[in-house]
Amino acid sequence: MNTPLDFSYQALPMRVVMGPRALDRLADEIDHAGLERVMVLCSPEQRELAETVAGLIGARAVDIHPHARMHVPVESAAEAQRRAKEVNADGCVAVGGGSAIGLGKIVALQYRLPVIAVPTTYAGSEMTPVWGLTENGVKRTGRDPRVLPVSVLYDPALTVTLPPSVSVTSGMNAIAHAVEALYAPDASPIIDLMAEEGVRALAAALPDIVADGADLDARARAQYGAWLCGACLGATTMSLHHKLCHALGGTLDLPHAPTHTVVLPHALAYNQDAAPKAVAALGRALGTSADPAACLWDLAGRLGAPRSLRELGMAERDIDRIVQVALANPYANPREVTAEGLGRLLRAAWSGQPPAS
């Protein structure tokens, strides 16, 4: 007999605009949000794009703040809040990847300014109410609906200049969101559908992007997958993979998306035996009946992505330190998390060995 459906699902309140020349609709989205004085947030590398964005909205762009940094250091957040107050901004446009969107979230949380997101990578952070803030080497995260962008504009042309290596790691970062959502304690049939489709879309699009960076169809499919995977993270509880990546990023300042790329196959392998439904869904999404953790590890290798924490700058002596940080504030996880198990996982991820259950 089939099990009766019994679940809850909270839809995320935001608008999404997707398609060629979606950026041209930014002014309409600003009008829809009722904003008149917006500050454009970006990282230093995205200054030129931010200037283009400001030009599209004219006098409503009261400032460009090109100081977003990875993992949102508390000092960076305070600087952005001070600047928003100085220019009397009533909203922000966050242009770029996770650094810019993460900064926009903190400004929204602490200064109550609505954010419109214009993502240029595939990480999917724009679809979640999850915020992160790093202080004294410790990355804190939380959830608050106030940090959700009021609008998200997905324009594939904005990702064409994204190098293949960044395209791949940001896409793998998004896949990690969907993987953990499949075995989250608050998963649902709706999440399962979005997660499987998101993984399928990204896993198919990333090789096409590496083969031809100007392939707008592939880049649009990657954005579609990032949207779905990010929405999965926004609606479920994070588990071991994200805990480890937050510990590695906040404590050691490792690069965000490459760290997710390296850790994902190992964290999935750790949990596979305790999450058979997730394994089945990932098998369908990846087109393989074999080990999905090994499949993701192979995919990263074929696409030239990093596969060891050592090549990201982590020292072997830091393994025990990260184990302790991860155990100090554990996340929900389908399999019991132990110091011994984490040590094995991190040693394999550090050295670049294939993932093993």
pLDDT at residue 2 in the model: 57
* Mean pLDDT score, 115-137: 91
Q: Which residues contact 141 (CB under 8 A, 6 or more apart)?
A: 130, 131, 132, 133, 238, 246
Query: If DSSP codes are grouped into helix, strand and coil, which group holds residue 232?
Result: helix
* Mean pLDDT score, 68-73: 91
pLDDT at residue 250 in the model: 87
The enclosing domain of 51 has a CATH number of 3.40.50.1970
User: Is residue 3 assigned to a domain?
Assistant: no
- Shared-domain flag, residues 56 and 96: yes
pLDDT at residue 1 in the model: 43
pLDDT digits (tens, 9 = 90+) for 290-330: 799 999 999 999 999 999 999 999 999 999 999 999 999 88
User: Is residue 2 assigned to a domain?
Assistant: no
User: Is residue 232 assigned to a domain?
Assistant: yes
- Shared-domain flag, residues 171 and 304: yes
- Shared-domain flag, residues 22 and 152: yes
The enclosing domain of 257 has a CATH number of 1.20.1090.10
Alpha carbons 280 and 289: distance in angstroms, whole number: 8
* Mean pLDDT score, 281-287: 96
pLDDT at 3 over 60: no
Alpha carbons 344 and 6: distance in angstroms, whole number: 37
User: Is residue 71 assigned to a domain?
Assistant: yes
- Work out the pLDDT band at 58, boundaries 50, 70, 90: very high
pLDDT at 38 over 90: yes
pLDDT digits (tens, 9 = 90+) for 185-240: 999 999 999 999 999 999 999 999 999 999 999 999 999 999 999 999 988 999 99
End of a domain among 110, 138, 159? 159
Query: If DSSP codes are grouped into helix, strand and coil, which group holds residue 138?
Result: strand
Q: What DSSP designation does 214 have?
A: T
pLDDT at 179 over 80: yes
Distances (CA, A) of 347 to 104, 137, 314, 343: 35, 22, 11, 6
Query: If DSSP codes are grouped into helix, strand and coil, which group holds residue 15?
Result: strand
pLDDT at residue 113 in the model: 94
Write down the mean pLDDT value for the chain: 94
Dihedral class, residue 155 (left if φ above 0, else alpha if ψ from -120 to 50, else beta):
beta
Give the residue numbers spanning the domain of 62. Answer: 15-159
- Shared-domain flag, residues 208 and 127: no
- Shared-domain flag, residues 292 and 201: yes
- Shared-domain flag, residues 193 and 53: no
- Shared-domain flag, residues 243 and 334: yes
pLDDT digits (tens, 9 = 90+) for 135-168: 988 888 888 999 999 999 999 999 999 999 999 9
- Cβ atoms < 10 Å from Cβ of 313: 12
Determine the residue type at 167: S
Which position has the higher pLDDT, 42 or 123?
A: 42
Q: Supply the pTM of this predicted model.
A: 0.91
User: Is residue 36 assigned to a domain?
Assistant: yes
- Work out the pLDDT band at 7, boundaries 50, 70, 90: confident
User: Is residue 357 assigned to a domain?
Assistant: no
Alpha carbons 5 and 111: distance in angstroms, whole number: 40
Cα pseudo-dihedral 198, 103, 186, 322, rounded to 10: 100
End of a domain among 159, 188, 216? 159
Mean pLDDT check: name the lowest of 126-140, 147-161, 249-263: 126-140
- Shared-domain flag, residues 337 and 233: yes
- Shared-domain flag, residues 63 and 135: yes
Domain count, the chain: 2
User: Is residue 184 assigned to a domain?
Assistant: yes
End of a domain among 133, 159, 185? 159
* Mean pLDDT score, 279-289: 93
- Shared-domain flag, residues 21 and 39: yes
pLDDT at residue 33 in the model: 95
Rounded percentage of the chain residues whose pLDDT exceeds 70: 99
- Shared-domain flag, residues 105 and 182: no
* Mean pLDDT score, 45-61: 96
pLDDT at 11 over 80: no
- Shared-domain flag, residues 320 and 218: yes
Rounded percentage of the chain residues whose pLDDT exceeds 90: 85
pLDDT at 10 over 80: no
